[in-house]
Amino acid sequence: MSKLTITKLNKTYPNGVKALDDVSIEIGKGMFGLLGPNGAGKSTLMRTLATLQEPDSGTATLDDVDILNQPVELRKILGYLPQEFSVYPKITASQLLDHLAVLKGISNRKERKQLVDYLLQKVNLYDKRKKSVKGFSGGMKQRVGIAQALIGNPRLIIVDEPTAGLDPGERNRFHNLLAEVGEEVIVILSTHIVDDVRELCTKMAIMNFGKIVYNGTPSEALDALNGQVWRKSIERAEKETYKSNYNVISDKMVGGKPQIHVISENKPDEGFVQVAPNLEDVFFTRIQSSNH
């Protein structure tokens, strides 16, 4: 059983921003969701685990590999799909994956061709293998990204903000692919999109201002809010009044009117309906309490 152990990671940037604040977490195999608003420190953590930057202090190990002191060893068992997976110009999908396989040390040409064909079939791009990647849609580029992350039997796969900018069909295909991959290895999905985590992950953490503010399962987080989430549709002009009188965790437009979610032990006032908490409520509640 693979296990990733992160202990007391700290990182402060020269501008004084504390991107990692005593981050400790243990991650086993399967899909792990790392949720947080932009600027929470997620990418810093992902880049640290991918050996692209060093923390000021702390340790991280994947089984017997010391990530910070054995970066070359880690890279052999790492698949990484960064936020901006920029693709080489005027090169076909087959050529791109072949090139990356060479970089990952697969020197036998026949073995490489078999691997590349297998991966292109797995991500459903085999029939497009001779097409230039530059002309691919966003979803197809992401699938090439996953294919390259699977080269060399990785034990840890890191996917940073994968579904931003994908249309719903592409997003579903991407999710199915990730779920299939995630059965055998550790997959960390770093995102600010709550639905990505809700649909895919059995374990999750929420990060804000460089700190882990929740670590557990989505269902435990939801249970903790049971019976405390209330919903009401209000007029736009009333929004500020409600925000100053109640613990409003979110407001969004529904059918042209603001709909607010309030956390309260008892019914806040007339017109409020108790609703089952969703992961978005968990997210906003945890983020809000760590903002103070």
Sequence letter at residue 274: Q
Range name among 149-163, 169-183, 198-212, 253-267 with the lowest pLDDT average: 169-183
pLDDT at 257 over 70: yes
> What is the mean pLDDT of the segment spanning 100-124?
91
* Cα–Cα distance measured from residue 144 to residue 177, given in angstroms and rounded to the nearest whole number: 12
Region of residue 137 (left: phi > 0; alpha: psi -120 to 50; beta: else): beta
* pLDDT value, residue 188: 95
- Its pTM stands at 0.85
| Helix/strand/coil (H/E/C) assignment for every residue in the chain | CCEEEEEEEEEECCCCCEEEEEEEEEEECEEEEEECCCCCCHHHHHHHHCCCCCCCEEEEEECCEECCCCHHHHHHCEEEECCCCCCCCCCEHHHHHHHHHHHCCCCCHHHHHHHHHHHHHHCCCHHHCCCEHHHCCHHHHHHHHHHHHCCCCCCEEEEECCCCCCCHHHHHHHHHHHHHHCCCCEEEEEECCHHHHHHHCCEEEEEECCEEEEEECHHHHHHHCCCCEEEEECCHHHHHHHHHHCCEEEEEEECCEEEEEEECCCCCCCCCEECCCCHHHHHHHHHHHHHC
* Cα–Cα distance measured from residue 288 to residue 250, given in angstroms and rounded to the nearest whole number: 10
Sequence letter at residue 141: K
Residues 31-86 pLDDT 10s: 999 999 888 999 999 999 999 999 999 999 999 999 999 999 998 899 998 876 66
Lookup: tokens for 118? 């297998």
Confidence class for position 289, pLDDT limits 50, 70, 90: confident
* pLDDT value, residue 247: 93
pLDDT at 87 over 70: no
Classify domain 3-221 at the CATH topology level: Rossmann fold (3.40.50)
* Percent of the chain residues past pLDDT 70, beyond the cut: 98
pLDDT at 122 over 80: yes
Nearest residue to 166 via CA among 198, 130, 191, 132: 191
Is 77:62 a contact under the CB 8 Å cutoff?
Answer: yes
Sign of CA dihedral 219, 220, 222, 223: positive
* Cα–Cα distance measured from residue 90 to residue 110, given in angstroms and rounded to the nearest whole number: 23
Residues 129-141 pLDDT 10s: 999 988 888 888 8
* Percent of the chain residues past pLDDT 90, beyond the cut: 61
* pLDDT value, residue 152: 83
Domain positions in the chain are 3-221, 227-275
